[in-house]
Amino acid sequence: MSDIIWPAGYVPGFTDNFCSNEMIVTGLTAAEIWPFLNIPTRWPTYYPNSADVRFHDGKGPELEADVRFFFSTFGFPVEAQVVEHVAPVVGQPARVAWHGWSGEGADRLDVHHAWLIEDLSGGRVRILTQETQNGAPAKELAKANPNPMINGHQDWLVGLVAAVRGVTG
């Protein structure tokens, strides 16, 4: 199975916080899932921890390489820029990742949030989301038990699968 591609400064184990969530389900494909993840204005319809999605520079509604966008999540207003964007094609996993940031100075939070959607044998699809974080807010999140990032991203995965199943039947 494929792995997330990590940029320098965001490799898990060397950051202030890391979370990883994954689902493998049957009956869906990467191509069916992609539009629900690649169009951020859809996120609040199945993931209530996201809101206020908007694009900069007249872009959108779909994510694309280098596009800047904004959304709110976990109580943070997040500015983000797509740093990896590969739509699904047969034999290759779909990938989307963004650098996100919130706050300034000692309260700044920097994240790398990556998604991988991969068709597997037997009519299965793997959805992996991982995030690394740096900054004082990340250190505080890492201390929380249960980890709100793990729980929140699991809710995102469950909602994503349910939303796609609701459309595909």
Q: The pTM is what?
A: 0.95
154 in any annotated domain: yes
For the chain, which ranges sit under pLDDT 50?
A: none
pLDDT digits (tens, 9 = 90+) for 139-150: 999 999 999 999
Q: What is the pLDDT of residue 74?
A: 86
Q: Report the CATH number at residue 56.
A: 3.30.530.20
pLDDT score at 151: 95
Question: What per-residue confidence (pLDDT) applies to 4?
Answer: 96
Q: Which residues fall within 8 angstroms of residue 109, CB to CB, at 6 or more apart?
A: 76, 101, 102, 103, 133, 134, 135, 136, 137, 138
Residue 7 lies in a domain: no
Instruction: Count structural domains, the chain.
Output: 1
Question: What pLDDT score does 169 carry?
Answer: 54
- pLDDT > 90: what percent of the chain? 94
Segments forming the whole domain that contains residue 24: 17-168
Do the domain assignments include residue 12? no
Average pLDDT, the chain: 96
